[in-house]
Each structure stands twice: as structure tokens, then as C-alpha cells.
Amino acid sequence: MKNENYSLEEVEDWDKVMDPYLKSDLDGYAIYLSIPIVVIGLVGNISIIVVLSTNRHLHNSLNIYLLNLAISDCLFLLTSPINLWFSSFSPFHSMYDDSLFPVGYCKFSNFTRNFSFVLSSTLTVMISVERFLAVLTPLKYRVYVSKARTVKICCITWILLSLWDFRVIVTSGQRTRVFPWPDMTNGIPNTTTVCEQCVGFEPSICSVISYVALIEIYLALFTNVLMVIMYGFVFWALRNKTPFTKTKSSAAVNRVKYEMKALRTVLIVVFMKVSLTGPINVILISFGRHNGNFFKQSINMCVLLYLTNAAINPIIYNASNEVYRQALLKLFRLS
């Protein structure tokens, strides 16, 4: 062990060594910005859950998917920012210090974050497919798509993804991380407890776990591309007017109006999701395995974008859907 009587030059060198592991001013801004985003998001998504579940005239296939998406967003908003917030009590970046949390919370937090991420991405794709079928094949859509089938699909999705992500609970754990500076340099210890996957497993198993996590991120990017392609077909169909009936009956006209309003709402939701979650997926693929300084500096800002995506859907529904807006006003006794 080195002598702790360091020269000024050595102290400056240790500052440079310590800096990549410590919290920056940007991380502090992320902590404070995340608080109103989470509060607004939870209030908004809980309102969605109440409105869509208590108003029978809103019980349709699309809204069942949106209800499940709101529940998924609530899970993410409840768990994802906790580590970020508690980093305000530590000099370390949130990636490098989980000392305040027991191992049980470590497993629960990792599972919930990963599960809500995968579930949200899956539900967004399912919503896009639902709109794709509704616009391009409206007659078959009305025959094969029903509320009962949609509920069954959502239940199966929750069960399958829970089983898929159960591996996160099994593989997550805590370990002591030792940093490359003498203990209590500048009053900062050189050890912390971190919550990670693949604790106590063989390196070969850890490699498989890492690649599975990477595959999930690639799939998220792939689904973004898939949704862009699907909406390209939808706009082509709308431009050529192929999916609509030629009849001028009021029922057909009302059906077209409803589908257009629903498509507009979903399109905004998907656009915001791709825009807000795409950067973190690219960063995770490009820099996550190296865990470099750029990754550390940008990860909390990317988490902030993810929180914004989970919080913004209620605002989108209010702005683009008058029926939902009226139901929400009625819920708060404002109309």
C-alpha cells in the first residue's frame, strides 16, 4: 500500500483519476429535472389508467393497449429514478454507488427497469401493428380484432416477458468495487457497493448474460425501424385511399374519422418514443461494453429522456384526443 503523504503533483494526478467516477454538475441537473417529470408522469399515467378502465365507451382494442402501456410507464417511473435520486447523497456517479440499497431491492430494481423497458417496447410495436391492420385491412380488422382477444394478448405478453426477465432477478447481486486511489483521498473512500447483473457466475455465463442484454437493445432499435416501415405503408395507403370503403354512409364516414384520430394519436406516441429512447439504445450499444467517460457523462441525461418518454403520453392523449380529454376533465370534475 502506498504512503498517504502525497506531494501536490500526486494529489492533482489522483484528482484526474477520481474524476471519471464522481458526480458532475450535469448529473446534479438531471437529478432535479427528473423530480417534476416523474411526478407529472405518475399523475398523468394513473389518470389514464382510471379514465380508460372506468369509461365503458373507451373500452376498445387500442385503448386496452394504451392502458397496459400506462401501467408499464408507471413501473418505470416508480423504480428507474431511485438510484439517480439517491446519488445526491453520494460523491459518486449513480453507476458506481448503490451502497444505500439492500440486495433484495437491487434484484427488484434491475428486474423492474428491464421488464418495463422490454414491455413498453413490445406494447408500442403491438399498438403500431393494431393501427396498421385497422387502416390497411379494416374489414378483417373488425372481424378478427376484439376486446376479449386484446386482453388475452396483453395478459400473455405480461406473463411471457415476466418469465423472460426473471433471469435478471436470478443473476443480479451486489459486489464491492475498489477504485484506483488511496482510501479517503479528498475525503472520498476507494470502495463502494454496486448492484450489477452476473454477480457470482462463471465468466462464460456472464458473457451469455451480456449478449442477451445486448440483443434486447438491438431488438429495441429493430422495432423502431419496423414501426417506421409500417407507418410508411400506412401513409402510402392513406395517400392512395386503398383501405377505405367507397360508400358514403354516415357509419363509414364516422369510422374513417375515428381511425384517423386514433392514427394521429398513436403516430405522435411512436414518434416521441423513437426520438426519446433511440439515443440511449445507440449509446448502450456503442459505449456500454466499454463503460467509458462519455457513457458515464451521458447516461443520466439519457435516463432523463426515458423518463420523459414515460411521462409524456398523457399529454399526447390530451392534446390529440378530445374524447379522452373530456373523460379526463370529468374525472377531475372540471366539466
Tens digits of residue pLDDT in 151-191: 999 999 999 999 999 999 999 999 898 988 888 888 889 99
SS3 304: helix
Largest CA distance in the chain: 89
Average pLDDT value for residue range 273-292: 70
Tens digits of residue pLDDT in 8-45: 445 557 788 888 888 888 888 888 899 999 999 999 99
pLDDT confidence tier of residue 294, bands split at 50, 70 and 90: low
Average pLDDT value for residue range 261-281: 82
CA 40/CA 63 separation, integer angstroms: 21
- pTM for this prediction: 0.86
Report pLDDT for 24.
81
CA 145/CA 139 separation, integer angstroms: 10
How is domain 25-331 classified at the architecture level of CATH?
Up-down Bundle (1.20)
3-state per-residue secondary structure call for 1-16: CCCCCCCHHHHHHHHH
pLDDT confidence tier of residue 255, bands split at 50, 70 and 90: low
pLDDT confidence tier of residue 253, bands split at 50, 70 and 90: low
CA 99/CA 102 separation, integer angstroms: 8
Q: Please list the helix, strand and coil fractions of the chain in percent, rounded to the nearest 5, in that order.
A: 75, 5, 15
Report pLDDT for 269.
87
pLDDT confidence tier of residue 67, bands split at 50, 70 and 90: very high
Q: How many CB atoms lie under 10 A from the CB of residue 261?
A: 14
pLDDT confidence tier of residue 256, bands split at 50, 70 and 90: low
Handedness of CA 154, 160, 161, 166 (dihedral sign): positive
Report pLDDT for 65.
93
Among 224, 232, 234, which Cα is nearest to 132's? 234
Cβ pair 168, 196 in contact under 8 A: no
pLDDT: is 283 or 270 the higher one? Answer: 270
Cβ pair 134, 237 in contact under 8 A: no
Report pLDDT for 261.
76
Residue spans per domain, the chain: 25-331
For the chain, the average pLDDT equals: 82
With a cut of 90, say whether residue 82 has pLDDT above it.
Answer: no
Q: Which residues pair with 194 in a beta bridge?
A: 175
With a cut of 50, say whether residue 279 has pLDDT above it.
Answer: yes
